[in-house]
Structure formats: C-alpha cells, structure tokens
Amino acid sequence: MSCFSCFSSHEKKAPRRANSARRAQLPPAVHKEPVSQPHRPVTEIPRTKTPAPAEAANKETGNNNIAAQTFTFRELATATRNFRQECLIGEGGFGRVYKGRLEKTGQVVAVKQLDRNGLQGNREFLVEVLMLSLLHHQNLVNLIGYCADGEQRLLVYEYMPLGSLEDHLLDFPPDQQPLDWYKRMKIALGAAKGLEYLHDKANPPVIYRDLKSSNILLDKDFNAKLSDFGLAKLGPTGDKTHVSSRVMGTYGYCAPEYQRTGQLTLKSDVYSFGVVLLELITGRRAIDTTRNSEEQNLVSWAHPIFKEPHRYGELADPLIKGDLPVRGLNQAVAVAAMCLNEEASARPLMSDVVTALSFLGTEPEHGATAISLPSPPIEHNMSGAQAKPEDEESMIKERERAVAEAMEWGGSHSRHKTKSRSTSASSL
C-alpha cells in the first residue's frame, strides 16, 4: 500500500502459524522488583542521552524513572501458554500480540512479542518503556511491565477487550453492527484527549507520531486509549519550532510537511487526528487501493467537499447515514477540515479540538430535549440552487466559525452538566 519504504505497513489481523523456534529452551527466571516513582501533577520527562540500542533495554531496567514491572521470559511464556496460536490476538510489522493471564495475580494482559527482524528495534522498545512508564492518563494504554531477557523484547499491557478501532470501523464482520454516530464521536473525543495530554501536560511535550485507527484501542465501554509509543518523540522546547526526524509513520496518516521535510511538530499529530476523524465520519480507510483511483486517498477525495458545506452529507458513512444528527455531522466535518489544513500553523490545538468534540460525543439523555448545534449556512442564488463560497478565504473563515461554535456548545454543555450535578448534590 505504501509507496515509501520508510513507512510502516498496516497491522495485519490474520494470524499465521507461530514459529516453532519461539518454543526453544526458556532462560532461567530472574525477577526484579519494580521501582516506585513519586507522583507528579504534570509529567516531567527527563531528557537523557539514549544509550546504545544493543545495551539500552537491559541497562534501563535499573533506571529510577522506570515504574513498570519487569518479567522474565519464562513468566510470560507461562502467561500465554507458551505463546500458543489460539492466544494470538494481533500481528503486524512490530511482531505479535498474545492474550495471557499472569500466574501470580491472575490479571488478564496483552503481551507484545517484538520480532527481532521486524520494524521495531531496541530503540523503539526503550522509547515505549520510558514513555508509558512516565506518562499516565485514562486515554493512554497502561503498560504493566516488560521483559528484556537476553535478546527477548516483550511488552505487557492492560488487556483491551474490544480490540482496536480498526476492528470495529474498517474490518468488522458482516454479522456485527456498525458503530453508531455517538460511539464514533466518543472514540474521537477519547483519542483527542490522549493527544491533548501528550501535547499540553507532558513536559517537554510528546509528539505521538503514529496515530491511526489500529493504534486506538477500546475498552468494554468503547473508551479509547492510544497504544504503541515506539515512534513517539519529544517535541520542541524553548525557541525551537520543530524537531527534525527521519520520516516514520504510516502512509496516509502523516502530515504533508513532515513527509516533505522531516520537520516534526505538534501540529503533525493534529493532522493525523484529522485523518482518523475523517475515517470515523466516512467509514473509509485512509488509503484504500480497492476503490477508484480518485477515491483511494481519503483526504484527497474529501478536500473538494470540505470547500462546499452543502456537500458535507456526502462524507457520511452510508451504514449510519440515516441515523445521525445532520448538524453534528457538519460540526465534525468542520473540525476534520481544520485539522487537515495544508498549512500546519492554521491547524487547531488539540485542546481546542477536545472542546469542539466534547458535545458531539455525548448522546442526548432519554426523554431530554436534544440541543441542536447550528449548522454552517448554505448560500442560495436567485434560482434557489445552492451556490459555492466565493473564495478559499471565506471558506477558511466559515470553518473557523463552525469550530468556534462547536467549542462554545461544548463549553456550555460542560458547564450545564457541572451545574446540574451541583444542584442535585445540594438537594440531598
């Protein structure tokens, strides 16, 4: 699918027969106690020099910044029943993911076994351990521990029973109901909150760099959590506007300026979020080679429609087109269009995106009067036919107004909910 060799491929769901070599003799068990870490209201990430990849994973097991548990290979082999095929729940360029149960605690976990010949090496393994040990938020997947025995590299996460967003939006079986509108917006809001935390709360800020539908995991209540931090990078600080990096990520989700120059900013993540939001709205893949040539790239196909608000309905997923709020659709498309602006500086901050989406992800309560979001105005000519905006500048202003209105409604809704809870509490 990718035309760039440096881009990672999409994760494959179809399991393959496990290699019998992984059932080789297990190393002796050497368990190390986890090191506690004091609570920080704002996450501070030390800017330490990355050690050599060959020794980094083992060297970092004694770092006082690591709060994750360490596991032996034997413990994780036992948890996954020796990495049996029936425990395999995912597979991709990084390696394989197995469902397991820890023998000591009985906790159900997901164990990612890195392929030593795959796309994720020692450096990415170290980055993921460091990042998820220091960053904690309800919309980031929880790293329970890791294993760095010999040449083995494994990561242990909390188990997410509903799998990835890709499983429910793009790869769901015929007998499964498609995600409804409010679940889609709830997932978008959760992913946005995860990015907001990385951009605004972490110090220095963190650029996620690999946002895509397969990296957004879902718990039993469809709460979204970002996973796979192997490509994450510390963002610019001080007077710096960007960090330079070799182009990494997944084709179709990367910001155009990052692909051209290798210059990475927080707005690169905003662009990737816009692609995921557009996938949620349309039910289409970012890149789909099975479609007609003009529709294979989702963003390229959608851009002309962004310029004509009266065509926003064409972007709605046909599977839910008859069961979604039209004005909510208009607002979501307006947010996606802002995030996908070709000019990075014109894209919104993730905090603004969170505010704009906070209302769209809330399903109206049963019996309550639904609040209608204002929709973008549609201009008409004398004959009654719909007319296009006069120029690109007016279209940009229209998108900004739509996002501003969504933010206003989001803020008002949050204040209304807080006031309602206060009133209920005072009446007790």
Which segments are annotated as binding site? 112
| The two three-digit tokens of residue 341, written as one number | 């602006």
Rounded Cα distance, 359 and 366, in Å: 16
Rounded Cα distance, 324 and 314, in Å: 13
Is the separation of the CB atoms in 51 and 82 below 8 Å? Answer: no
Strand pairing class (143-147; 69-70): parallel
| The two three-digit tokens of residue 219, written as one number | 């718990």
Please give the biggest Cα pair distance in the chain: 82
**Which member of 167, 210, 269, 317 is catalytic?**
210
Nearest to 270 by CA among 365, 363, 175, 335: 335
* Residue 98: φ, ψ to 5°: -120, 145
Q: How many CB atoms lie within 10 A of CB 329?
A: 23
Check if 180 is active-site: no
Binding residues for ATP: 112
Please write down the long-range contacts of 80-84, taking CB distance under 8 Å and 24 or more positions apart: 80/111, 82/23, 83/18, 83/22, 83/23, 83/113, 84/18
User: In b/e form, how buried is each residue of 277-290, taking b as 16+ CB within 10 angstroms?
Assistant: bbbbbbbbbbbbee
Identity of the residue numbered 196? E
Per the listing, tokens 């202003």 go with 397
Which residues are known to be catalytic?
A: 210
